[in-house]
Chain A
């Protein structure tokens, strides 16, 4: 079970064309198995965020092949990719990115409502359950912009979890937080990996953070070093 590949990159090349043609990713190949807690580390500008956007299907202009859940994703139509993102990928960004128009609870529910597998009542229950894991249940009815940074990030993680995704991807999820909140977020990820067997792929430039993960992919100049 644990050996099942959930994400695989095969020879991914990526170029930026403006201002001049530069290759930002060079023959990136690796795979992630279910339950892995993987971090991608590297200096600023080494292409780790770019790689993450390709892996998350949001960026489609690359060469090579991407497999999610052992299915080739490269070249699929945009509508299909949207569904993959909705169903199989949970995303946590550096800047929290909650929908400020909605309450905390609604923010967590939105991807679930979009998926449409559960009805509103069931989703509400599930969302509350996720919020409870992170100790956020008493904030459920607040507006998203009434929360602190650390709280927002916890809500964002709860949102990423609502559809029980295959993999959670994080783009420097603790990069904008202080030490204390950063530790809390890491603790949550660790707990997800060990207690819930959740697959995680986290991009970070913080070596301390990377050290504590199961496996670290180190990148430099668009290549994987180790």
Chain B
């Protein structure tokens, strides 16, 4: 109906005060640009930092722990089982680290629809013999392909290729720190002593660097078969089963269920890495708070400019009312001005924000600790664009609401008589 006319009037009013309108729109553009760039950058960093730990952490890890048996023989006895038995100095029995019936467990897990993938692992302590001194280390025997698929193993292999582990017998990928201490080059053969006292020769085929220095000093990788052979154990010997789920949130309850079913220990990611989620949440909160503050400040800018416009355009408002525009029409005109500023400024802001993100993404960011990162990480999640867009409309609407209300309440008689 007459909405087109109101829009036309709004446009003419804005064009008559083009500079002011531009200033208001630029304010919105700037704040939306900063909002998008800031959130993208902050969350890119967040995700990278979380990824450092979370990518490599299984959602559920099954293992056997060496600990005293809670069911001591006296509790089994018919005669004394109802007594309060006190036994001192209990020692753990020579229980096995190996997971009993591991292939059946893996089979069961693989059939669970909630499970994304399963990777078996054998962990063992070794001494690397360098001249007369020994360096302690941990060698994990892994299923290279599964480890790659589930835990992005190859991202952290900085030299050599992970698949060499399966193709070369008795090969090892050394932790960067360990390799530096041993002065081991790729192709060198190093000597290690297992916990049972056996000596093995291992060929270095690559370096592993996680970015966590402490880990890189001790952690090395070999294939599952190599480690089983080092330990003199059969191919069914598995000490860890790592599980990745489709839904991270299911981990605690599934860990409990399967721990009871298989009668082994199970750790879920939430329990192990609770502090990471807290950190992420707080960082998110801060970036949203800063972004929204920017938008509110630009909202005040629009409010100011509209208020000034209304004082300047009192005559126009009075005239419009005198010739038959209602208060509601005048209100719509000024709300329209605010929304046009919001939409134009906001859209431009979203585009510029995207380009700012692309720009930041190009900046080099190389650090020893983070081998996989070459440039600053930026998250281009459409959610930030949606929030930025909606919020720019909401703030400009409210910035326009009060001036528009004032304009709609202008009494034309006061203005016309006042001259």
Q: Is B311 an interface residue (CB 8 A)?
A: no
Q: Is B189 an interface residue (CB 8 A)?
A: no
Number of residue pairs across A and B with beta carbons under 8 Å?
Answer: 77
Binding-face segment, B8-16, B59-67, B270-278, B295-303: B8-16
> Which residues of chain B are near A99, meaning CB under 8 Å?
12, 316, 319-320
CB of A14 to closest CB in B, whole Å: 12
Q: Is B74 an interface residue (CB 8 A)?
A: no
Question: Is B319 a contact of A94 with CB atoms below 8 Å?
Answer: no
Question: Is B1 a contact of A85 with CB atoms below 8 Å?
Answer: no
Q: Is A110 an interface residue (CB 8 A)?
A: yes
> Which residues of chain A are near B2, meaning CB under 8 Å?
113-114, 116
Question: Is B416 a contact of A93 with CB atoms below 8 Å?
Answer: yes
Please report the total number of A residues contacting B with Cβ < 8 Å.
31
CA distance A56 to B321 in the complex (A): 11
CB of B335 to closest CB in A, whole Å: 17
Which listed residue (B15, B329, B411, B416) contacts A97, Cβ 8 A? B416
Interface string of B1-38 (1 = CB under 8 A from A): 11001000100110110000000000000000000000
Question: Is A101 a contact of B416 with CB atoms below 8 Å?
Answer: no
Question: Is A53 a contact of B413 with CB atoms below 8 Å?
Answer: yes
Tell which of B9, B13, B322 has the most Cβ of chain A within 10 Å.
B322
Question: Is B5 a contact of A113 with CB atoms below 8 Å?
Answer: yes
Return the chain A residue nearest B419 by Cβ.
A95
CB of B415 to closest CB in A, whole Å: 9
Describe B's contact surface by its main secondary structure. Answer: helix
> Which residues of chain B are near A102, meaning CB under 8 Å?
12
Interface string of A59-89 (1 = CB under 8 A from B): 1000000000000000000110011111100
CA distance A59 to B327 in the complex (A): 14
Q: Is A13 an interface residue (CB 8 A)?
A: no
Return the chain B residue nearest A98 by Cβ.
B319
Q: Is B81 an interface residue (CB 8 A)?
A: no
Q: Is B365 an interface residue (CB 8 A)?
A: no
CA distance A113 to B316 in the complex (A): 16
Interface string of B407-419 (1 = CB under 8 A from A): 0000111001101
> Which residues of chain B are near A152, meaning CB under 8 Å?
none
Q: Given contacts A93-B416, A95-B419, A116-B2, is CB(A58)–CB(B16) below 8 Å?
A: no
Q: Given contacts A101-B12, A101-B15, A102-B12, is CB(A58)–CB(B323) below 8 Å?
A: no
CA distance A84 to B326 in the complex (A): 11
Return the chain B residue nearest A111 by Cβ.
B323
CB of A127 to closest CB in B, whole Å: 14
Q: Is B324 an interface residue (CB 8 A)?
A: yes
> Which residues of chain A are near B15, meaning CB under 8 Å?
101
Which listed residue (A97, A98, A171) contacts B318, Cβ 8 A? A97
Question: Is B12 a contact of A87 with CB atoms below 8 Å?
Answer: no
Which listed residue (A59, A78, A110) contacts B323, Cβ 8 A? A110
CA distance A111 to B411 in the complex (A): 19
Question: Is A59 a contact of B416 with CB atoms below 8 Å?
Answer: no
Q: Is B325 an interface residue (CB 8 A)?
A: yes
Q: Given contacts A99-B316, A113-B5, is CB(A82)–CB(B321) below 8 Å?
A: yes
Q: Is B181 an interface residue (CB 8 A)?
A: no
Interface string of A89-119 (1 = CB under 8 A from B): 0010111011111100000001101111000
Return the chain B residue nearest A89 by Cβ.
B324
Question: Is A114 a contact of B413 with CB atoms below 8 Å?
Answer: no
Residues of chain B from 319 to 346 with CB closer than 8 A to chain A in the complex: 319-329
Return the chain A residue nearest B14 by Cβ.
A101
> Which residues of chain A are near B322, meaning CB under 8 Å?
56, 58, 85, 91, 93, 97
CA distance A190 to B328 in the complex (A): 36
Which listed residue (A87, A91, A97, A110) contacts B315, Cβ 8 A? A97
Residues of chain B from 259 to 279 with CB closer than 8 A to chain A in the complex: none
Q: Is A159 an interface residue (CB 8 A)?
A: yes
Q: Given contacts A113-B2, A114-B2, A116-B1, is CB(A86)–CB(B323) below 8 Å?
A: yes
CA distance A114 to B16 in the complex (A): 21
Q: Given contacts A101-B13, A101-B316, A102-B12, is CB(A111)–CB(B324) below 8 Å?
A: yes
Return the chain B residue nearest A94 by Cβ.
B419
CA distance A91 to B321 in the complex (A): 11
CB of A143 to closest CB in B, whole Å: 10
Q: Is A213 an interface residue (CB 8 A)?
A: no
Tell which of A56, A100, A101 has the most Cβ of chain B within 10 Å.
A101
Question: Is B417 a contact of A114 with CB atoms below 8 Å?
Answer: no
Question: Is A82 a contact of B324 with CB atoms below 8 Å?
Answer: yes
Which listed residue (B12, B320, B324) contacts A115, Cβ 8 A? B324
A and B contact pairs by CB, cutoff 8 A, 29 listed? A53-B413, A53-B417, A58-B321, A58-B322, A58-B411, A79-B326, A82-B329, A85-B324, A86-B324, A91-B323, A95-B416, A95-B419, A97-B318, A97-B319, A99-B12, A99-B316, A99-B319, A99-B320, A100-B16, A101-B13, A101-B316, A110-B323, A111-B324, A113-B5, A114-B5, A114-B324, A114-B325, A114-B329, A115-B324
| Besides the known contacts A102-B12, A114-B5, 16 further A-B residue pairs in the complex with CB atoms under 8 A apart | A49-B417, A53-B413, A53-B417, A58-B413, A59-B413, A79-B328, A82-B324, A84-B324, A85-B322, A85-B324, A87-B324, A97-B315, A97-B318, A97-B322, A97-B416, A101-B13
Which residues in B have some Cβ–Cβ distance to A below 8 Å?
A: 1-2, 5, 9, 12-13, 15-16, 315-316, 318-329, 411-413, 416-417, 419
Kindly list the 3 A-B residue pairs having the minimum CB-CB distance in the complex, ordered from nearest: A86-B324, A82-B326, A101-B12
